[in-house]
Amino acid sequence: MIEHTAMKTPPIVSRQNWEAAREQMLVKEKATLRAKDALAAERRRMPWMEVDKAYVFEGPNGKASLLDLFEGRRQLIVYRAFFEPGVYGWPEHACRGCSLGADQVGHLAHLNARNTTLAYASRAPQADITRLKQRMGWEMPWYTITDSFDKDFGVDEWHGHNVFIRNGDRIFRTYFINSRGDEAMGTVWSYLDATPLGRQEIWEDSPEGYPQTPLYSWWNWHDNYDAGADKTWEQVSAAGEAAFRDKGEQ
């Protein structure tokens, strides 16, 4: 039988007192949210580091360069997942923490709609990666590291997300997230906030000339992004944005 230690729980209060306590907490939560927005704005102004080394990966279709991992999009996020000999769970499973993170990844169509690609990379052969993805139901692109990419970008001994942007064929590293920062990754917002272009919405504080669209207007069902412009949704989303702005929710 499992024994439970006594918990010192919070006080039990009336609905009125509960609502008042919640309003006090909401003030702090909104301040934290605004601080996170400001931090993301600073992140978009971080200097870039050009990647001048040619890295080679193995993918499901053979050899691939770092540029190939972009899949033609402007931005790329590469997560180094530990799946290889010597990792606990091999060969049936990847690292438990990396696997937990993989289970959090949302539908990639939304990220792709913002000109951003997410890719995973490990040292396991492609045959094992394919088998693992099928077993676990994961759909993100997943490549095999064949050179010093992991060491060069700080993920040879620990997991992490490296963020890149390209200008034509030139590639730049723009940010790096690891340790507890990885815990928050998985939603489209967490990924976009880590990128140099951000969410690309007009409310954001971004450098001049950065791509931006009205809030909500680009949101879509994950199977409908190829359908083109939806004038009705543009009107609905504009009305919703105005309502939230009037309430001071942004």
For the chain, the domains span: 49-194, 214-249
What Cα–Cα distance (Å) separates residue 165 from each residue in 5, 70, 198, 241? 51, 9, 12, 29
**CATH fold of the domain at 49-194:** Glutaredoxin (3.40.30)
Is the separation of the CB atoms in 83 and 132 below 8 Å? yes
pLDDT for 125-134, tens place per residue? Answer: 999 999 999 9
Name the CA radius of gyration of the chain, rounded. 21
First to last CA, the chain: 49
Is the separation of the CB atoms in 146 and 65 below 8 Å? no
What Cα–Cα distance (Å) separates residue 84 from each residue in 87, 95, 132? 6, 9, 11
Q: How far apart are CA 36 and CA 77, in angstroms?
A: 20
DSSP state of 44: T
What pTM value is reported for the model? Answer: 0.94
**152 burial type by CB count under 10 A (0-12 exposed, 13-18 middle, 19+ buried):** middle
Q: How far apart are CA 173 and CA 153, in angstroms?
A: 9
Per-residue model confidence (pLDDT) at position 173? 98
Residue 126: closest CA among 63, 72, 76, 68: 63
Antiparallel, parallel or unpaired: β 75-80 and 116-122: parallel
DSSP string for residues in 125-177: -HHHHHHHHHHHT--S-EEEE-SSHHHHTT-SSS-EEEEEEEETTEEEEEEEE
Low-confidence ranges of the chain (pLDDT < 70): 1-3, 244-250
Per-residue model confidence (pLDDT) at position 139? 97
